[in-house]
Structure 1
Amino acid sequence: MSPATVSPMLVRLAGERATGALLRDRGTLYLVDGQVVHAESPAAPGIDILLTATGRLRPEGWQQAVDRAGAHGFVGRFLVESGQVAGGELEICHLGALHDAAFFALAPSSGPTRFRYGVAHWIGPVHPVSAEVVEREAARRRDLLDRLWPYPDVDNAPVVRTRRRPDTTVTARQRAVLALADGAMTPQDIARALGRPAFHILIDIRRLAAAGAVETPRAPVPQAHLVPAWVAGMTPDPDVALLRRLRDALEATL
């Protein structure tokens, strides 16, 4: 497990079998008896979007569940018992939303981490996951993204298409992402528009960046008065074409 993704407080709370909400810069993890029962992040579509945007659940059905069961913390149970969502389907969607949000919530951060004991999420019990599994999955996802294209600036910047032809075949899902790459929408915006987990969108965008189909944001150029003139005249950006050739050569040897 990558040390950068580990939350010492989460490890301690899991050992204490604590119940409550772990608040971090980029999201919140909800624990019951030390296990993670839900997660939320501004960077990830919520379970409501994942269920409704794909047509699995009518928006009015979701709102009905929140209105009737939200205050009691049993929205998930209400959806299943009312026949709007099958139990297995809810579990799969919930796990997807949990790991998606946890990936962002557990990102390296210099901000404060707080825990509010006794706080519960309105979705209610669906499928608890051990804290160890959540952290391990977050680390695996971060490592995967770095292997695909090791420039995380593409994860948060507006997605901009390039004029060049991609180096590889573009899949149907990647075409859907490119169709929304208008230079204004971020990966998070695209995830919400498509009703897909944000991490899945990041995979597509990093692959598209590696193929030359979307731009990698430029790093800021150092100020000339702080560096030698010959350095100030150079761009700190990587030689993307060279990186692609190196990547292709390495893959050919595997």
Structure 2
Amino acid sequence: MLTRLAEERATGALLRDHGTLYLSEGRIVHAESPSAPGVDVLLTAGGRLPRTGWQEAVDKAGARREVARFLVDSGRVGGGELEICHLGAMFDAAFFALAPGSGPTRFRYGVAHWFGAVRPVSAAAVERETLRRRELLDSVWPYASADTAPVVAREPAPGQLVPRRQRDVLALADGTRTPAAIAWALGRPAFHILLDIRRLAAAGLVDTPKEPLAPPESTGAVPSWVATLSDDPDIALLRRLRDALEATL
């Protein structure tokens, strides 16, 4: 549907269960998802823009759908800075909105978002980036359930180094927060948090659920001892043991 709407140069909102894409003449100008922090969170969480400054922009320019223009014209945010922040938030939300199994797709013609357009992006570019991100996540840690389950931190092995941005994630991995909750708390794009968590899982630094592997095709019964030996090992634990052994050598 997104490809067809782009070819039709349609204007409106493409609604799915996990997010909404806003199109103007077939190009995507905004996206939002409950799984991804919006532009407001990315700007205000780190103190770049006071929350009162954001609210003032919404109050004064939201009805005209010119919040973005107001932020730049009033000098609260630089034009280039807002463009980068908005593109990051848009690609982030689109990743979740276009996820497989995101429910039925509906399109409401003529609907525009109150934030206003900053830099339109082609639907093809958004689709390519969404697929690239999905493939990147799977190449790091092939268990998608890690993206939605509460994250539990594990102690690093002796001598195991953890980058600062990942330490920030681990500090909030208390067994109750999901990746989305951590993204909102840190004011970072949700995809970046997913990538950090999958990297941490691969390094044995967080506990995450793992989907059961599909049983291999067989023409006969498999002895119980063979099934026991072929169980998928705890890869994260093995990596931690390896790191500990290397640290003692």
- Which of the five TM-score ranges fits, normalised by the shorter chain? 0.7 to 0.9
Matched residue, 1:39: 31
1:83 aligns with 2:63: no
Give me the whole-angstrom Cα distance separating, in 1, the residues matched to 2:32 and 2:124: 18
Give me the whole-angstrom Cα distance separating, in 2, the residues matched to 1:219 and 1:186: 17
Matched residue, 1:193: 185
Give me the whole-angstrom Cα distance separating, in 2, the residues matched to 1:102 and 1:192: 17
1:118 aligns with 2:110: yes
Q: CA deviation at 1:169?
A: 2.4
Matched residue, 1:104: 96
Q: Give the TM-score of the pair, scaled to structure 1.
A: 0.84
| Unmatched 5+ stretches in structure 2 | 213-222, 244-249
| Unmatched 5+ stretches in structure 1 | 1-8, 221-227, 249-254
Matched residue, 2:139: 147
Asked if 2 retains the 8 angstrom alpha-carbon contact of 1:219 and 1:237, the reply is no
Matched residue, 2:162: 170
Give me the whole-angstrom Cα distance separating, in 2, the residues matched to 1:148 and 1:215: 15
Q: CA deviation at 1:109?
A: 1.4
Asked if 2 retains the 8 angstrom alpha-carbon contact of 1:219 and 1:236, the reply is no
- What code does the residue aligned with 2:161 have? T
Q: CA deviation at 1:239?
A: 3.3
Q: Give the secondary-structure state (helix, strand or coil) at the position aligned to 2:100.
A: coil
Matched residue, 1:215: 207
Of residues 234, 238, 244 in structure 2, which corresponds to 1:239?
A: 234
Q: CA deviation at 1:56?
A: 1.3
Q: Give the secondary-structure state (helix, strand or coil) at the position aligned to 2:42.
A: helix
* Root-mean-square deviation (Å): 2.7
Give me the whole-angstrom Cα distance separating, in 2, the residues matched to 1:40 and 1:231: 48
Q: CA deviation at 1:244?
A: 4.9
- What code does the residue aligned with 1:26 have? H
Report the CA distance shift for 1:130/1:217 in structure 2 as closer, same or farther (over 3 A).
same
Give me the whole-angstrom Cα distance separating, in 1, the residues matched to 2:105 and 2:95: 16
Give me the whole-angstrom Cα distance separating, in 2, the residues matched to 1:193 and 1:233: 42
Q: Give the secondary-structure state (helix, strand or coil) at the position aligned to 1:90.
A: helix
Q: Give the secondary-structure state (helix, strand or coil) at the position aligned to 1:71.
A: coil
Report the CA distance shift for 1:40/1:233 in structure 2 as closer, same or farther (over 3 A).
same
Matched residue, 1:51: 43
Which structure has the larger Rg over C-alpha atoms? 2
Measured against aligned partners, the alpha-carbon deviations of 1:5-41 in whole angstroms (never above 9, x if no partner) come to xxxx000000000000000121000000000000000
Matched residue, 1:252: none
Asked if 1 retains the 8 angstrom alpha-carbon contact of 2:150 and 2:175, the reply is yes
Q: Give the TM-score of the pair, scaled to structure 2.
A: 0.86
Aligned residues: 234
- State the percentage of identical aligned residues: 71
Asked if 1 retains the 8 angstrom alpha-carbon contact of 2:19 and 2:97, the reply is yes
Of residues 52, 62, 84 in structure 2, which corresponds to 1:70?
A: 62
Report the CA distance shift for 1:241/1:156 in structure 2 as closer, same or farther (over 3 A).
closer
Give me the whole-angstrom Cα distance separating, in 1, the residues matched to 2:238 and 2:144: 15
Measured against aligned partners, the alpha-carbon deviations of 1:179-217 in whole angstroms (never above 9, x if no partner) come to 001000111111011110000111110000000000121
Of residues 13, 16, 37 in structure 1, which corresponds to 2:5?
A: 13
Report the CA distance shift for 1:66/1:236 in structure 2 as closer, same or farther (over 3 A).
farther
- Could you list the structure 1 runs, at least 4 aligned residues long, displaced by more than 6 angstroms after superposition: 228-236
Q: Give the secondary-structure state (helix, strand or coil) at the position aligned to 1:116.
A: strand
Q: CA deviation at 1:130?
A: 0.3
Give me the whole-angstrom Cα distance separating, in 1, the residues matched to 2:158 and 2:230: 24
